[in-house]
Chains A and B, each alone.
Chain A
């Protein structure tokens, strides 16, 4: 039961470096999401995708890019990392429909020095 798998689990970057976070799901879900979790802020939506080849901005998209070339994968990129992007990043996936629960990965803890 893999569900939603995120890699890597931890990463430390220097300001200005770039990296890509990978999310893979094996539930054939159409919708995929990237959230960031910061203390006292809950989870905030960065970008989302409603299907292969489509992406859209969420609440806090600045400084991030995404791609969904395959249905099962959703990539989150940081082109030039900034300390304000230090956070825990969660990927989620779901079937379409507002009554469908989202399934989350275990997160990637990212520190930008």
Chain B
């Protein structure tokens, strides 16, 4: 079955540091890949997505590249801000099914200190 593995947290960084959150996946067919962000007390918001191999999703300074050869979709940001503190979820939606459900990683808590 489908699965997503993302790096364990929590991750604590200083403002302006470089961020990487690793995500690897196992899926049938050709999945679409997503990063969602959850701020405290809120629901999940789509951060970025990529729908085919070598696609790069980007938003708000965050980037992730769909690497089929390594089955990875690592999230990166060059300079984090305090406002980026949140939980980040990697997820996939597989073309092998009909319900288009999302399979999530367990989430990575990021804390950015001033």
A residues engaging B (CB < 8 A)? 4, 31, 33, 40-45, 48, 50, 56, 58, 90, 92, 94, 96-107
Would A104 and B44 be within 8 Å (CB), given that A40-B106, A42-B89 are in contact? yes
Chain B's interface: helix, strand, loop or mixed, by majority?
A: loop
A41 to chain B, nearest CB (A): 6
Kindly list chain B residues whose C-beta atoms are within 8 Å of the C-beta of A98: 31-32, 93-95, 97, 100
Kindly list chain B residues whose C-beta atoms are within 8 Å of the C-beta of A31: 99-100
A100 to chain B, nearest CB (A): 7
Which residue of B has the minimal Cβ distance to A109?
Answer: B41
Kindly list chain B residues whose C-beta atoms are within 8 Å of the C-beta of A43: 44, 89, 102, 104
A25 to chain B, nearest CB (A): 12
| Cβ contact within 8 Å between B43 and A90 | yes
B residues engaging A (CB < 8 A)? 4, 31-32, 34, 36, 41-46, 49, 51, 89, 93-95, 97-102, 104-107
A52 to chain B, nearest CB (A): 16
Docked pose: A107 CA to B42 CA in angstroms = 7
| Cβ contact within 8 Å between A100 and B101 | no
Which residue of B has the minimal Cβ distance to A49?
Answer: B99
| Cβ contact within 8 Å between B49 and A99 | yes
| Cβ contact within 8 Å between B101 and A58 | yes
Kindly list chain B residues whose C-beta atoms are within 8 Å of the C-beta of A105: 43
Kindly list chain A residues whose C-beta atoms are within 8 Å of the C-beta of B105: 42
Which residue of B has the minimal Cβ distance to A91?
Answer: B43
Partner of A104 from B43, B100, B101, B106 at Cβ < 8 Å: B43
B19 to chain A, nearest CB (A): 20
